[in-house]
Amino acid sequence: MLRWVRQQLGFDPPHQSDTRTIYIANRFPQHGHYVPQKFADNRIISSKYTVWNFVPKNLFEQFRRVANFYFLIIFLVQLMIDTPTSPITSGLPLFFVITVTAIKQGYEDWLRHKADNEVNGAPVYVVRSGGLVKTRSKNIRVGDIVRVAKDETFPVDLVLLSSDRVDGSCHVTTASLDGETNLKTHVAVPETAVLQSVANLDKLVAVIECQQPEADLYRFVGRITISQQTEEIVRPLGPESLLLRGARLKNTKEIFGVAVYTGMETKMALNYKSKSQKRSAVEKSMNSFLIIYLIILLFEAILSTILKYAWQAEEKWDEPWYNGKTEHERNSSKILRFISDFLAFLVLYNFIIPISLYVTVEMQKFLGSFFIGWDLDLYHEETNQRAQVNTSDLNEELGQVEYVFTDKTGTLTENEMQFRECSINGIKYQEVNGKLTPEGFSEDSPDGNRHSLMKEEELFLKAVCLCHTVQINADQTDGADGPWHANGIAAPLEYYASSPDEKALVEAASRVGVVFTGTSGDSMEIKSLGKPERYKLLHVLEFDPNRRRMSVIVESPSGEKLLFTKGAESSILPRSKSGEIDKTRIHVDEFALKGLRTLCVAYRRFTPEEYQEVGKRLHEARTALQQREERLADVFNFIERDLELLGATGVEDKLQEKVQETIEALRLAGIKVWVLTGDKHETAVSVSLSCGHFHRTMNILELVQHKSDSTCAEQLRQLAKRIKEDHVIQHGLVVDGTSLSLALREHEKLFMDVCKNCSAVLCCRMAPLQKAKVVRLLKTSPEKPITLAIGDGANDVSMIQEAHVGIGIMGKEGRQAVRNSDYAIARFKFLSKLLFVHGHFYYIRIATLVQYFFYKNVCFITPQFLYQFFCLFSQQTLYDSVYLTLYNICFTSLPVLIYSLFEQHVHPHVLQSKPVLYRDISKNAHLGFKPFLYWTILGFFHAFVFFYGSYLLMGEDTSLLGNGQILKPNRQMMFGNWTFGTLVFTVMVITVTMKMALETHFWTWINHFVTWGSIVFYFIFSLFYGGIIWPFLHTQDMYFVFVQLLSSGSAWFAIILIVVACLFLDVVKKVLYRHLQPTSTEKAQMYSNRVALSDEFIALQPLSRARNQLSKISLLRQVQVSTAWTPCAASQLGKQQAHLLEECWSE
């Protein structure tokens, strides 16, 4: 805190310059004017509060809410002036609401602290004092030398010093950062690469100068100065030297690196969007409604004050004989009296603003969120993971989603490539039990059961085994003396590849007889049917997105020079002059239609003269100082021509289970799906096609590889024109990160118009912050749609935090996404149940809860306003202060809370099987102006019926006289106004509780208990409260009032008649609308009701079938009883119930 204050005041600036100087192992200079720089510690913080700021920060956030702030003002007014009601009536509910909310939010933040502590407390090894010291991740300082072992995650951003390899190289995967699963090679500078022991590293004297932290994952500029004896050696440092936090070490036993960026200054953390308080659309609607009710309140208070002074204009009413003014009151200022009276009326009517609404909503969200974790349908048995709720504030937002932004790698896919088919010399093959089998032949067929490979097949497999960047696990031997399969092939090796496709192809080749066994110097070694062969690697023609292919030139064991090349069919087939080109093209199209990722394989033989020319041109291009890239491209094109086509491969990027069905269901629900990935263009498009995000009939538009504003704008205009001309056809848009940056810079509106007219959008080569920008772009568009982002890696955190709802996938890429998400699920397929069932229920429940609260408070306070016309606006309260306090806390709170936890207006199975029902609740349909107006008018109507019905029915009662006298033999007591107020209050409690019962579709024993129990509790409480003289009460106006009221037969008649009169119109309206203008949800309800198997339904069945039905119904009722109290937790039994219902209906 002190450091922060010093920084704010300018005494302790966090960074002195644009660069930072890091002394390795923190060996600071012993002489000179050295001022040490201050760096962040290595703690990762995702929590909102600390012990010190929890109370002030939480109170500030709570009093930003209109209702809380309003009740605070009312409470202060009651303390300062003489008001009709006690300050306790406002202060107690306010304290209760603030306390419950603070406990709930504190608990959720404690869970975030717990997750942070788990990460910050992870064990790490640091070189200190000549040895390896075990410490916690949070204790790493900038300058520490850290040891990381194989398959461990880097705890900080490190500059690589050395590895277990002589050349100082290591391999890492950054899938959790940028979504790419390929291995990346990083190298240390030669002077530190040789320091492979702790003792040698401890003697290292070196200084690193590098740029200050920035979010760009692919940029790092620095230099290292190494002191060796009397000289200093300076080496440049670039991205190839930097190991990023969150990345994982692969295929390397261990590395040593020096920490340069720590904690919240690491590139991973800088790509997190700053955590902000997410507020749901329902909460915003609540605040809008509160403002409207505040206006109504002010209007009633001002009108009452004006009418009071208008009435008191007559002298006889200004100071009646029974209420004389004091001398101080006669001499006080009229303006002050007016303000005082206005504030008094404000306090009298203040209960029209329902403070208990917020605490009920908080409790509903908190308790309701447990159903997600208990849902067996969201439990993944293989990984033993259940759904997780990190924040319950957004439950209802799950029912309002309009756009889903999803990552690809690990979210839609399992991140596992599998070889499926290949085409060799015009013949299609499949792998069957480790053998290549021609299509149409089984393993038992004569041609399908072969123990040898034909010449074309062997050459094709050799091309696959030689043209790649695959590496073998350093822990494994070459398999020469290892176990052997029956067909003479070595046991499988563990491969690492720069491309998952390459890994799948090399593994498939090894299974069918040609095994890549590793590299030795400049040689590549393979085994063909157990026979070792060594090929000398002469040149590698690297893959680039323009050529869309890669090649290798090798020398065979016989001395022949061969070129093997593989790539996209569009880049290989036009360059092939021989081979089965037409047949292969047909096969490639067939593979693509199956959603397979395709590659074509070809080769070329060089004569000695041709190879000499090739070598000469390659050397000239690679040593050129000017236009090196263009020259290399020309040489590559010269080499990769006149090819002989060998065949093609079909590899499947294994999708997660039911991804295609989930995306289709989202589309039927009216939700648009955007895929945002850091992966390559071709890979992303292929997966989009295979998962159903793009349809084969869809017109795919591309906005890729643009490097200037003008070309990007022109392409956007052409795309917009094309969409307008082909408006009947569905369009899909592909855009890459570079083009997206240009489009968002100057042409944001045009880009958004194109996107909104596309059925599906795919963004590839996206940096983490670009993902967040795309989400923000949609989020802040004029329509203000509700967005959901889902991902599994650290590269998805910014997107998850930016969206209205963020969902983390519990995948293989660490827990960063899960920790920073609002909800976490194990698989993408669970998204449909989360939105269509839980989201639907949560929204319907909370929408009804909010509207009902405003309705019952209008019913509550409007009679108070009407009563002022009968008491000369003297601010006399109609209800006793105890009833005022307990109305929202006790008498009417539980039925609506239980409704908001258990209501299921449609069976969950129906909701999930009919995604179109999700459209009925989209765009906040149940909290719009029309429903709000209906509930408000209904509240005023019921309030008028309560008040005037009681007045008209009881005003002439001989036992309850209007002047308050109850006439009985030997007894005469005065409690007229309290009797009338209690009658109104009794009718009101019964009516609003019955209204809640009318809204309930899913009845459990708990619903029955709290609904009828609330009414019974009111009667029992009133009898005890008014039937006993309580010594701790100053006044007891209600003594014997309730007993006397219930002793009157006409009072009972009035209660029953008024309640029926209020609810009769509601019932008629529901019946007429349901049968004349039913919504799709109401149709689904009627279908569910028909399938509910009434006795009449069974009576229509033949006797033999009826017996079968009855046995099913007995099981059905058992299921209903056992699942009544936890509908979501027993979802598996719910499915059994739905299945029985459908089975009975079909019969």
Q: Which residues are catalytic?
A: 407
Q: 10 Å Cβ neighbour count for 26?
A: 15
State the amino acid at position 294 in one-letter form. Answer: L
Q: Which residues contact 739 (CB under 8 A, 6 or more apart)?
A: 703, 704, 705, 706, 712, 715
- Which of 519, 588, 551 is CA-nearest to residue 251? 519
Give the integer Cα–Cα distance in Å for 40 and 247. Answer: 20
Helix axes 500-512, 455-466, angle to 10 degrees: 140
Question: Which secondary structure element, helix H or strand E, spans residue 225, and what is its range?
Answer: strand 222-228
- Which of 407, 400, 325, 359 is CA-nearest to residue 95? 359
Give the integer Cα–Cα distance in Å for 727 and 990. Answer: 57
Question: Which secondary structure element, helix H or strand E, spans residue 689, and what is its range?
Answer: helix 681-690
DSSP-derived letter for residue 1100 is: T
Give, in degrees to the nearest 5, the angle at Cα 864 between 348 and 1066: 130
Give the integer Cα–Cα distance in Å for 1083 and 510. Answer: 58
Q: Which phi and psi (to 5°) does residue 572 adopt?
A: -100, -50
Give the integer Cα–Cα distance in Å for 312 and 320. Answer: 10
Q: 10 Å Cβ neighbour count for 549?
A: 22
Looking up tokens 């990345």 gives 247
Measured between its terminal Cα atoms, the distance across the chain in Å is 72
Residue burial 881-913, b: 16+ Cβ < 10 Å; e: rest: bbbbbbbbeebbbbbbbbbbbbbbbbbbbbbbe
- Which of 1066, 1071, 1045 is CA-nearest to residue 987? 1045
Q: Which residues contact 383 (CB under 8 A, 6 or more apart)?
A: 810, 826
Give the integer Cα–Cα distance in Å for 699 and 733. Answer: 9
Task: Provide the token pair at 88.
Answer: 């306790």
Q: 10 Å Cβ neighbour count for 524?
A: 22
Task: Provide the token pair at 84.
Answer: 């009709």
Q: Which residues contact 989 (CB under 8 A, 6 or more apart)?
A: 887, 891, 892, 1014, 1015, 1018
Give, in degrees to the nearest 5, the angle at Cα 715 between 714 and 719: 120
Alpha helices in 887-975 (DSSP H): 893-902, 908-913, 929-954
Cβ(821)–Cβ(394) below 8 Å: no
HSE value, Cβ hemisphere, 13 Å, CA-based, for 208: 30
Looking up tokens 């002010």 gives 298
- Which of 108, 98, 96 is CA-nearest to residue 61? 98
The DSSP code sequence of 113-182 is HHHHHHHHT-EEEEEETTEEEEEEGGG--TT-EEEEETTPBPSSEEEEEEESSTT-EEEEE-HHHHS--S
Rg (Cα) of the chain, in Å, rounded?
Answer: 38
HSE value, Cβ hemisphere, 13 Å, CA-based, for 903: 26
β-partners of residue 484 are 490
